[in-house]
């Protein structure tokens, strides 16, 4: 296996990014000397690594987009003038660089020159994401909302798009890897409800899944025929259909997944290690900053979940005695998306309607009620759009927590799980909250029920009360905003 990696690396003398496995796990490796950047997956006795120019490179990533308040998915930053784009990138990439982010997840459409600009000026790589029919596609001039991956026309169209994409981006400085899809497995249930009486293998969703992952594999092979210098990953929805993935998707280099399990990823890394044997890159994870119980912004809860999620990402990295298959992740997301609830309506309103529920987020979960607020996942709150179309961002507590986390190098010589734990324990979420207020982060007050939020700055900090675990379960106002934070970290 090591000989294979040497042979792959030798194909790109000028290159940069490599995923490498050794006995203790996966690592990502980076160097600043190369002009172009090779990204390959390497396996050795101690695990998997992503390697950039021979140095370990943990992906400290961020899901990034650019949507001013009042716009939605129809807005395109790349349609603006070069001067406008440069100002927007200089501002946001500067904030990301300051936070220690070394990679962003961006959907197709970003011109290659801006990928290179971001890398050359801020040292930030780009993971380029093709949605692979996740949100529909046009077949013979007609828009089809639900993609049927068994349709030969769909196969031809998607493979054509992928081929064109890779031909256009091959050799781009700062391009980290190609990512296919975005929870496409969740879109396979469009043919209606399926009863439990139907055997699992005969359900339409299962049949469609097999077609889809088989096509993912074909696309992966097509990419590698054109560009051998970048690995390929998918963005699955958690571990659904993992058994089919194992059978149909062997050519992909990295198993990527969007994972929202709350304070812990539980058995995620162990299952992938045991059942699939691929390195793991979390393509989405995180927590929203709005508490559905108190109906107020809750920076502390968001920061707590991100803190513990990143601790596990690092714990499962190479060399620390666990599965060694974690090569990093992409926090979701950098700034609030004010358009996400209504999509086309209330674009200038920061909606507080929770659109789905997740019992893993104990801060504000109430059985039978939604608690996940799509418009509030930002690590930074978003300010109003000025006359020129730009906006300011206001880092929340999670920003400062992540900044400290990304100072930690899990590949540092002599690093152990105990040492890593100490480093995370030394990160104060309370102090991060104070910093966020000092930077005039938004504090929200007013008539929440009407969704017309009265936004103003405040230097006030939260009060903390020592509530016992037993009392905690009996109270209806559970939030890290009014209790000690240690209880959450146990779960």
Q: What is the DSSP string of 203-254?
A: SHHHHHHHHHHHHHHHHHHHHHHH-SSS-EEEEEETTTTHHHHHHH--S-SE
Cα–Cα distance for residue pair 200/209, rounded to 1 Å: 12
Length of the chain: 491
H-only helix segments in 283-365: 299-315
Residue 475, pLDDT above cutoff 90: no
Provide the b/e sequence for 105-116 (b: ≥16 CB within 10 Å).
bbeeebebebbe
Asked if 122 and 160 sit in the same domain, the reply is yes
- 293-310: pLDDT as tens digits: 999 999 999 999 999 999
Nearest to 427 by CA among 449, 446, 408, 447: 408
CATH number of the domain to which 390 belongs:
3.20.20.80
> Which range is least confidently modeled, 20-24, 69-73, 216-220?
20-24
Q: Which residue has the higher pLDDT, 199 or 482?
A: 199
* Average pLDDT over all residues of the chain: 84
What pLDDT sits at residue 154? 98
Cα–Cα distance for residue pair 222/49, rounded to 1 Å: 23
Strand, helix or coil for residue 378: coil
What pLDDT sits at residue 72? 97
Asked if 387 and 341 sit in the same domain, the reply is yes
Neighbours of 15 (CB within 10 A): 23
Mean pLDDT of 116-125: 98
Q: How confident is the model at residue 465 (pLDDT cuts 50, 70, 90)?
A: very low
Asked if 301 and 396 sit in the same domain, the reply is yes
What pLDDT sits at residue 56? 85
What pLDDT sits at residue 142? 95
Asked if 251 and 276 sit in the same domain, the reply is yes
Asked if 342 and 258 sit in the same domain, the reply is yes
Residue 464, pLDDT above cutoff 90: no
Q: How far is CA 122 from the centre of its chain?
A: 19
The residue whose two tokens read 């380029």 is 128
Mean pLDDT of 202-214: 92
Mean pLDDT of 59-69: 98
Domain coverage including residue 90: 58-490
In the chain, the number of structural domains is 2
Mean pLDDT of 352-380: 97
Asked if 19 and 97 sit in the same domain, the reply is no
Nearest to 154 by CA among 126, 174, 134: 134
Asked if 126 and 8 sit in the same domain, the reply is no
What pLDDT sits at residue 261? 98
> Which range is least confidently modeled, 5-19, 364-378, 456-470?
456-470
Cα–Cα distance for residue pair 5/21, rounded to 1 Å: 10
Asked if 313 and 403 sit in the same domain, the reply is yes
Neighbours of 409 (CB within 10 A): 14
Residue 412, pLDDT above cutoff 60: yes
- Structure-derived torsion over alpha carbons of residues 445, 448, 453, 457, reported in degrees to the nearest 10: 20
And the tokens for 238? 């958690």
Cα–Cα distance for residue pair 312/266, rounded to 1 Å: 9
Domain boundary among 40, 57, 74: 57
Residue 60, pLDDT above cutoff 90: yes
Asked if 394 and 274 sit in the same domain, the reply is yes
Domain boundary among 22, 38, 57: 57
Structural contact between residues 134 and 147, judged by C-beta atoms closer than 8 angstroms: yes
And the tokens for 195? 């009863």
Asked if 225 and 150 sit in the same domain, the reply is yes
393 - beta bridge partners? 382
Q: Which residue has the higher pLDDT, 429 or 204?
A: 429
Domain boundary among 15, 31, 57: 57
Asked if 35 and 102 sit in the same domain, the reply is no
Asked if 17 and 109 sit in the same domain, the reply is no
Structural contact between residues 376 and 288, judged by C-beta atoms closer than 8 angstroms: yes
């Amino acid at each position: 296996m090591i000989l294979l990696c040497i042979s792959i690396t030798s194909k790109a003398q000028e290159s940069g990014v490599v995923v490498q496995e050794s006995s203790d796990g996966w690592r990502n490796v980076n160097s600043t000397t190369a002009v172009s950047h090779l990204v390959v997956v390497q396996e050795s006795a101690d695990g998997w690594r992503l390697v950039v120019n021979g140095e370990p490179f943990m992906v400290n990533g961020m899901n990034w987009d650019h949507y001013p308040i009042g716009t939605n998915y129809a807005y395109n930053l790349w349609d603006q003038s070069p001067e406008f784009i440069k100002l927007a990138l200089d501002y946001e990439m500067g904030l990301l660089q300051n936070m220690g982010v070394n990679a962003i997840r961006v959907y197709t459409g970003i011109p290659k020159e801006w990928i290179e600009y971001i890398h050359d000026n801020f040292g930030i790589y780009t993971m380029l994401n093709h949605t692979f029919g996740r949100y529909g596609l046009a077949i013979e001039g007609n828009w089809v909302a639900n993609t049927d991956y068994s349709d030969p026309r769909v196969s031809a169209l998607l493979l054509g798009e992928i081929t064109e994409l890779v031909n256009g981006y091959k050799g781009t400085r700062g391009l980290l890897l190609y990512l296919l899809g975005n929870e496409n497995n969740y879109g396979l249930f469009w043919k209606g409800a399926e009863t439990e009486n139907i055997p699992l293998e005969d359900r339409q969703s299962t049949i469609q899944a097999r077609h889809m992952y088989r096509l993912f594999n074909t696309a992966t092979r097509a990419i590698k025929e054109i560009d051998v210098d970048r690995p390929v990953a998918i963005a699955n929805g958690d571990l659904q259909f993992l058994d089919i993935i194992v059978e149909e998707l062997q050519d992909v280099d990295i198993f990527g997944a969007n994972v929202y399990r709350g304070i812990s990823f539980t058995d995620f890394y162990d299952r992938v290690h045991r059942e699939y044997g691929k390195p793991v890159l979390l393509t989405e994870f995180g927590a929203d900053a709005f508490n559905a119980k108190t109906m107020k912004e809750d920076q502390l809860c968001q920061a707590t979940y991100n803190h513990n999620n990143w601790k596990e990402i690092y714990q499962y990295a190479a060399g620390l005695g666990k599965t060694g298959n974690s090569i990093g992740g992409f926090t979701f997301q950098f700034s609030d998306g004010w358009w996400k609830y209504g999509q086309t309506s209330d674009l200038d309103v920061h909606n507080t309607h929770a659109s789905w529920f997740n019992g893993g987020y104990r801060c504000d979960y109430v059985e039978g009620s939604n608690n996940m607020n799509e418009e509030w996942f930002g690590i930074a709150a978003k300010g109003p759009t000025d006359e020129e179309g730009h906006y300011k961002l206001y880092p929340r507590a999670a920003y400062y927590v992540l900044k400290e986390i990304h100072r930690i190098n899990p590949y540092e010589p002599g690093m152990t799980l105990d040492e890593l734990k100490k480093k995370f324990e030394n990160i104060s979420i309370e102090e991060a909250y104070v910093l966020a207020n000092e930077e005039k982060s938004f504090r929200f007050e007013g008539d929440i029920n009407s969704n017309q939020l009265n936004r103003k700055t405040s230097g006030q900090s939260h009060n903390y009360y020592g509530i016992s675990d037993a009392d905690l379960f009996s109270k209806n106002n559970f939030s890290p905003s009014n209790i000690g934070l240690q209880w959450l970290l146990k779960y």
